Every structure is written in C-alpha cells, then in structure tokens.
C-alpha cells in the first residue's frame, strides 16, 4: 500500500515537472528549428550571388540573426491582424494545440490587452500586510467587481491558489513581469521584490489601483 502511494506521488510530481518544462522546451525547439531553416536560406542566397559564407563566418552569422529577428517581427505583426484569427481557428481544431498554446501563454510576459500577465499586490490574509500574486487575465469574475488573482507556492511555483479579489484590494506593480515573480518565489523571500525589479520600496499609495489601471488601458472608441 505504501509502495503504491509513493509511486503515485512520484508519478504525479514527475508529470507536474513535465508540464512545467514543456512550454519552455517547445519554444526552444521551435526557435532552433526556425533558426536552422533561416541559416540554410541565407547560405543558399549568399552562394547564389557568388558569396562564400564559409570564408566570412562572422558576417554570415550577423545576416542570419538579422533575418531571424525580422521574421519574428513579421510573425508578431501578423498575429495582430484579423487574418491571424482565421488561422488560429483552424489550428484550434488540432487536438492538443489549444492546451499547449495556453501553457506557453502563461510564460509570455509580453502579452497585451485582457490576457497580459500582471504582477499585483493584494491585501493579505492576516489582519495586516499584502501578498504578491499574478493576474493572468483582466476579465471580470463571475462576482461583480472581483478579479482572479493567483498566488503561487514557494519555492516550487508549479502549484498555488486562486482567489476572487475585489478590485479595490488589488494594486498593480507596474514594470514587474512573470519572470520577476518567479525569481521572488524561488528565492523564498531572501531577495526582496524591490531588489528583483531594482526599485525603491513604495507606499501602497504609490502603486496603481487595478481600477485605475483598467481605466488607463481601456481601448479608445
């Protein structure tokens, strides 16, 4: 009985590690695959015009990087167009695509709009104090004027708790990212959040209330 319990615990923990690592591995594989394709394309283009890349490896590397980042920029620009929505709907029909996309999206601190990752301070669960958490979406909860805040565990942040918090009790730590919060959790508080984001400690009055942040970022009609 004890062996089954240990095996179940080991399997469950290993799966958590797998799904925690999976988005990073997928992104790394895609970047390496795309870089390899661009490397071949630039090599072919230079040979076509009579330029021998092997004799100018430094210049070749610079050209590959430039083309690589240009393509990433074009893809990022394309993802903001309506045409991207059409392809997105087609891709979502592929089993598992949406799950992987959502997992990768958690680690993307550059998102904008209703689904960007915000680092927030909320009134603590003791009589005084605050907790630092994440908002993966700025969509209003089923409870009016409440929003979902996630508090991760430390030092292993692959678990945690979700709370519906009134907007008056949520303050946005502007400039802070998902990665900053991850460093804070892994340090178990040894590094203060102020040290991590290289900022002086602030009074709560200096932080941006969520209601004000929502008002400032609301799309113009």
Cβ partners under 8 Å of residue 166, min gap 6 = 145, 146
Taking every pair of Cα atoms in the chain, the longest distance, rounded to a whole number of angstroms, is: 74
Q: Residue 101: pLDDT above 90?
A: no
Same domain, 8 and 85: yes
| 53 and 90 co-located in one domain | yes
Per-residue pLDDT tens over the stretch 172-185: 998 888 888 888 88
Q: Are 8 and 69 part of one and the same domain?
A: yes
Give the total number of structural domains in the chain: 2
Does 210 share its domain with 137?
A: yes
Give residue-wise pLDDT tens across range 3-47: 556 766 666 666 666 666 666 677 677 777 877 777 777 777 766
d(CA 82, CA 89): 11
**pLDDT grade, residue 62 (50/70/90)?**
confident
Question: 183: Cβ–Cβ under 8 A, 6 or more apart, which residues?
Answer: 191, 196
pLDDT classification of 86: cutoffs 50, 70, 90: low
Indicate if 130 and 98 belong to the same structural domain.
no
Burial class (CB in 10 A: 0-12, 13-18, 19+), 198: exposed
Q: What are phi and psi of 127, to 5 degrees?
A: -65, -30
Same domain? For 6 and 101 the reply is yes
CB of 87 within 8 A of CB of 81? no
Residues 6+ apart with CB under 8 A from 150: 133, 134, 135, 136, 160, 161, 162, 163
Confidence band, pLDDT 50/70/90 cuts, at residue 143: very high
- 42 and 84 fall within a common domain: yes
- Whether 151 and 166 map to the same domain: the answer is yes
SS3 71: helix
Write out the two tokens for 160.
């945690």
Q: How far apart are CA 118 and CA 126, in angstroms?
A: 23
Mean of pLDDT values over 124-153: 86
Do 186 and 151 share a domain, yes or no?
yes
Q: What is the DSSP string of 131-158?
A: EEEEES---B-SSTTEEEEEEE-SS--S
**Parent domain of 10:** 2-106
Same domain, 78 and 16: yes
Angle between helix 97-106 and 2-48 (nearest 10) = 90
Residues 117 and 92 in one domain: no
pTM: 0.53
Residue range 145-169, pLDDT digits in tens:
999 999 888 877 777 889 999 999 9
Choosing from 71, 106, 141, the residue where a domain stops is 106
**Contact criterion met (CB below 8 Å) for 176 and 216:** no
Which segment, 30-34, 55-59, 197-201, is predicted with the most confidence on average?
A: 197-201
Residue 68 to residues 55, 60, 107, 127: CA-CA distances in angstroms?
21, 12, 21, 52
């Amino acid at each position: 009985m004890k062996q089954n319990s240990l095996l179940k615990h080991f399997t469950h923990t290993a799966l958590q590690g797998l799904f925690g690592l999976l988005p990073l591995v997928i992104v790394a594989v895609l970047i390496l695959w795309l870089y390899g394709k661009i490397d071949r394309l630039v090599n072919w283009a230079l040979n076509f015009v009579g330029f021998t890349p092997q004799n100018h490896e430094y210049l070749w590397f610079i050209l590959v990087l430039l083309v690589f980042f240009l393509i990433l920029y074009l893809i990022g620009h394309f993802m903001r167009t309506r045409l991207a929505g059409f392809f997105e709907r087609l891709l979502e029909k592929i089993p598992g695509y949406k799950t992987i996309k959502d997992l990768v999206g958690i680690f993307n601190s550059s998102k904008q709009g209703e689904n960007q990752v915000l680092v927030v301070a909320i009134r603590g669960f003791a009589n005084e104090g605050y907790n630092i958490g994440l908002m993966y979406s700025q969509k209003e909860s089923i409870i009016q004027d409440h929003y979902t805040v996630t508090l991760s565990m430390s030092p292993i942040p692959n678990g945690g708790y979700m709370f519906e918090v009134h907007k008056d009790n949520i303050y946005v730590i502007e400039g802070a990212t998902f990665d900053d919060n991850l460093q804070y959790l892994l340090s178990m508080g040894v590094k203060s959040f102020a040290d991590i984001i290289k900022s002086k400690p602030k009074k709560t009055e200096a932080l941006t209330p969520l209601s004000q942040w929502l008002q400032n970022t609301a799309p113009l009609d």
